[in-house]
Chains A and B, each alone.
Chain A
């Protein structure tokens, strides 16, 4: 137990002292038992403030410290370092949050704010006295990295790491690496060919001596912690031997079974397929849900025709175990499914498509060989309406509250390409809420598109309906919010600029890794401003659209950021891990195994020892949540730094007499 607690109260340059009487609070702190010194200062986090703490620790021989200041989310690490520099254990610090939880919300009631600040300081002092030292364990760092998702973000992160000498396992759930970028044809604001930009990167990844690609594979398990993760990746059965297949495509030509083309999102593909000509690895994959040999037991055409004897209907999926020191999640995005919104008619009217489908049509190697055609009659449409914010900025249950960031520029890019290359005599209308052309060179691009004669109507369409003249044309009903005029725009084809959703699989990956997601289902960053590529678990980073909607330059920049953070973590051979984890008191443990069943991370095992059956905690696996301790019927299981006596001391003091 600490019996000399120093209390240090911060003015925060007025943020606290303007609303709470500092002298009164300091005087009150000195009345508390075992508090020989209390000081207040304008900025306790400054160097002078920290020196004040250090001086008083030496002068009064303090053994515990309370800092009453801003949220511990900001300066707990700062003040722990201050303690450490004086030779005190950094965990001898307790903080009273008198800014965010007191001076700010109660700025209208100074008397009550002072009273609450006294309560918070009293609680922190009571807690401080009970604090125990927590030591650090040395962890040998595994230098290999797992990258989940091989879109442009995953590819960039892998290349940066591999170039720096780190071994990278790049896992992709689809048949080919590349993600969404190869599909988009051109990239704004330069109208560069997307495939020409991403394809060299794909080849570089495949050829890099430090990168091992596991395509058509999914993350199944992850145990361990920063520096020492053990992961299991399932390499799904392609039913084609990757080493033998030469990617000639003969099997695709002869395969009799077709299904919806999930790569192009229009048209059909065969049951045995290579998703696109530049696919990597360029090997065929059998879709077992539609393959006649698998579903009906009769066909076998691909096996007969394959010149390399690569088809293997008996192939089984394989579980691959990997040990890595860090993980980067780059699972990307998918287009929002607009059929959820009945009033926009997607799926009901054939001539309503999405921007991604339009991009695939424009691709000379795509399903229509570059021709823009209406799905109903294969005719070239001359009047096209684009509808923005399809599902974005929409607080209805079917919508997404956030702005998807890229759809304005995608619509402008497609309007530009249509007017300049594909259908020069076309009339393009864009119905929008706001045009967000935020990036470098984007506003200029927007101006150029307007100069081409693309008509912009500010308003979110309420409805899209089919005409009743058998033409399969469409009428977009929209109120122009500038002129307050109600418009009905007739068009031959409507293109929906859909919201960005997290990719299929992002949720599962987050669950396996135990990392937090946000309301939209994207991976949550540790801190939106200062730790934007860290996740809620140390050693796991996030890059690209998995973290939130973003365009290619932002995804690539973030990927390089995540790679740099990973390198910083893995650059030392040994890392120090704080042991603020669960701890068993063996004498009190009765071996009931409730804690083992409670632990969500399988960090507790029951072991038969000479003195009986006891719980044992793995410090590497324990995340420090304390659920085991809260459920332990004897109190044998305790979470260090939040032991029952420590929490109860604070509870009692917070409530205690005024």
Chain B
């Protein structure tokens, strides 16, 4: 399993984690290259459909990142994102896929270290879990 390079998709909020990732890059902080970032206006825009589609397409882990509590640009998008992720984790556990392939992490725009830590930890977690078990990935 040591050669396994998991593919991870990270949904980023335009106002916090995307900026934190930009700053991490500017500071030349290294993190695993298998982490792909997708920009959304708010973590509250993350649709359960997007996460399921990503797993269906074969991604090994999904990380949803949003602003710290009380810091959402749109007041409560991060709470909504968290609620969705928690709900979906339960379902993924129930169907035997494993809710721990999905994770939510909060950070502010000024916390590039938090971003690096989040994606590095996520990669380590998914490496332990192994590849996405979905067969006939579309």
Chain A residues lying within 8 Å of B40, measured Cβ to Cβ, are: 626, 642, 647
Q: CA of A101 to CA of B39 in the docked complex: distance in angstroms?
A: 12
Known: A97-B37, A519-B110, A598-B80. A625 touches B54 (CB 8 A): no
Are A116 and B33 neighbours in the complex by a CB distance under 8 Å?
yes
Structural contact, A655 and B57, CB atoms closer than 8 A: yes
* B26 close to A100 (CB less than 8 A): yes
Inter-chain contact A112/B33, CB cutoff 8 Å: yes
Query: Judging by beta carbons under 8 Å apart, are A101 and B37 in contact?
Result: yes
Residues 589 to 623 of chain A near chain B (Cβ within 8 Å): 598, 600-601, 623
Whether the pair B25, A100 counts as a contact (CB closer than 8 A) is yes
Residue of chain B at shortest CB distance from A656: B57
- Contact across chains for B45 and A629 when beta carbons are under 8 A apart: yes
B33 contacts A109, C-beta separation under 8 Å? yes
Total inter-chain residue pairs, C-beta < 8 Å: 134
**Nearest A-chain residue to B55, judged by Cβ:** A655
Q: A123 in the interface, Cβ–Cβ < 8 Å?
A: yes
Check B76–A600 contact: CB distance below 8 A: yes
Residues of B within 8 A of A601 (CB): 74
A132 at the interface (CB under 8 A from B): no
| A630 and B47 form a contact (CB under 8 A) | yes
Q: Which of B23, B84, B110 sits near A518, CB closer than 8 Å? A: B110
Q: Is A364 an interface residue (CB 8 A)?
A: no
Taken residue by residue from 622 to 658, chain A's Cβ proximity to chain B (1 for < 8 Å, 0 otherwise) reads as: 0111110111000000010010100110111011100
Residues of B within 8 A of A71 (CB): 18, 22, 25
Asked if B9 is at the interface of the complex by the 8 Å CB criterion, the answer is: yes
Please encode chain A, from 111 to 124, with 1 for each CB lying within 8 Å of some chain B CB and 0 for all others: 01101100110010
CB distance from B83 to the nearest CB of A (A): 10
B47 engages A629 (CB within 8 Å): yes
A sample of 5 cross-chain residue pairs with beta-carbon separation below 8 angstroms, ordered by A number, consists of A101-B37, A514-B74, A625-B73, A627-B74, A629-B45
Taking the nearest CB of chain A, how far is it from the CB of B127, in angstroms? 15
CB < 8 Å neighbour of B28 from A104, A113, A647, A648? A104
Do A120 and B36 touch across chains, with their CB atoms under 8 A apart? yes
Docked CA distance A642–B41 (Å):
8
Cβ A105 vs Cβ B15 within 8 A = no
Q: Nearest Cβ in chain A — how far from B129, in angstroms?
A: 17
- Min CB distance A221 to B, Å, is 14
Query: What 0/1 pattern do residues 34 to 63 of B give for CB contact below 8 A with A?
Result: 101111111011110110011001110000
A186 contacts the other chain (Cβ, under 8 Å)?
no
Chain A interface size band reads 35 or more
- Determine if A350 is an interface residue (Cβ-Cβ < 8 Å): no
**Does A199 belong to the interface (CB within 8 Å)?**
no
Across the interface, do A123 and B74 meet the contact criterion of CB distance under 8 Å?
no
A105–B25 contact, CB under 8 A?
yes
Given the interface contacts A104-B25, A516-B71, A655-B59, does A116 sit within 8 Å of B36 by beta carbon? yes
* A99 and B25 form a contact (CB under 8 A): yes
A468 within 8 A of B: no
A residues near B29, Cβ cutoff 8 Å: 105
Cβ–Cβ contact B25 & A101, under 8 A:
yes
Determine the chain B residues whose CB is within 8 A of the CB of A101 once the complex forms.
Answer: 21-22, 25, 37
Residues of chain B within 8 A (CB-CB) of A656 are 57
Output the nearest chain A residue to B138 by Cβ-Cβ distance. A652
Is A208's beta carbon under 8 Å from chain B?
A: no
Closest B residue, CB atoms, query A623: B74
State whether the Cβ of B101 lies closer than 8 Å to any Cβ in chain A.
no
**A532 in the interface, Cβ–Cβ < 8 Å?**
no
Instruction: Determine which residue in A112, A625, A626, A652 has the highest number of CB atoms from chain B within 10 A of its CB, and name it.
Output: A625
Q: Bound complex: CA of A407 vs CA of B31, how far in Å?
A: 40
> Assuming A105-B30, A518-B110, is B36 touching A625 (CB within 8 A)?
no
How far is B23's CA from A639's CA once the two chains are assembled, in angstroms? Answer: 27
Cα A654 to Cα B33 in complex, Å, equals 13
Instruction: Determine if A298 is an interface residue (Cβ-Cβ < 8 Å).
Output: no
A536 interface contact, C-beta 8 A: yes
A108 at the interface (CB under 8 A from B): yes
Is B108 an interface residue when CB atoms closer than 8 A count as contact? yes
| A647: contacting residue among B21, B25, B50, CB under 8 A | B50
B67 to chain A, nearest CB (A): 8
Q: Which 9 A-B pairs have the closest CB atoms?
A: A100-B25, A626-B45, A112-B33, A625-B74, A104-B25, A627-B44, A100-B22, A625-B42, A600-B75
Contact check, B30 vs A627: say whether CB atoms are below 8 A apart.
no
Known A600-B76, A655-B7, A655-B57: A626·B44 in contact at CB below 8 Å: yes
Using A105-B24, A106-B30 as known contacts, say yes or no to A600 and B37 having CB atoms under 8 A apart: no
The listed residue (A73, A109, A119, A624) touching B36 by CB distance below 8 A is A119
Closest chain-A Cβ to B35's Cβ sits at a distance in Å of 8
B19 within 8 A of A: yes
Are A519 and B108 in contact, with the CB atoms below 8 A? Answer: yes
Interface flags, A383-400, vs B, CB<8A=1, else 0: 000000000000000000
Q: How far is the CB of A468 from chain B (nearest CB, A)?
A: 45
Question: Which residues of A have CB within 8 Å of B24?
Answer: 100, 105
Contact of A278 with B by CB under 8 A: no
Tell me which residues from 199 to 250 in chain A have a Cβ below 8 Å from any Cβ of chain B.
none
Q: How far is the CB of A365 from chain B (nearest CB, A)?
A: 40
**Which residues on A sit within 8 Å (CB–CB) of B31?**
105
Decide if A34 is an interface residue (CB 8 Å cutoff): no
What 6 additional pairs, Cβ within 8 angstroms, besides A104-B26, A625-B44? A100-B23, A101-B25, A106-B33, A598-B80, A644-B50, A655-B54
Please name the residue on chain B nearest to A115 by beta carbon: B33
Q: A639-B41, A642-B45, A648-B53 are in contact. Are A627 and B77 (CB under 8 A)?
A: yes
> Taking CB as reference atom, which chain B residue is nearest A127?
B38
Q: How far is the CA of A108 from the CA of B33 in the complex (A)?
A: 10
CB < 8 Å: which of B26, B33, B77 contacts A625?
Answer: B77
Q: Report chain B residues within 8 Å CB of A105.
A: 24-25, 28-31, 33
Closest chain A CB from B36 CB (angstroms)? 5
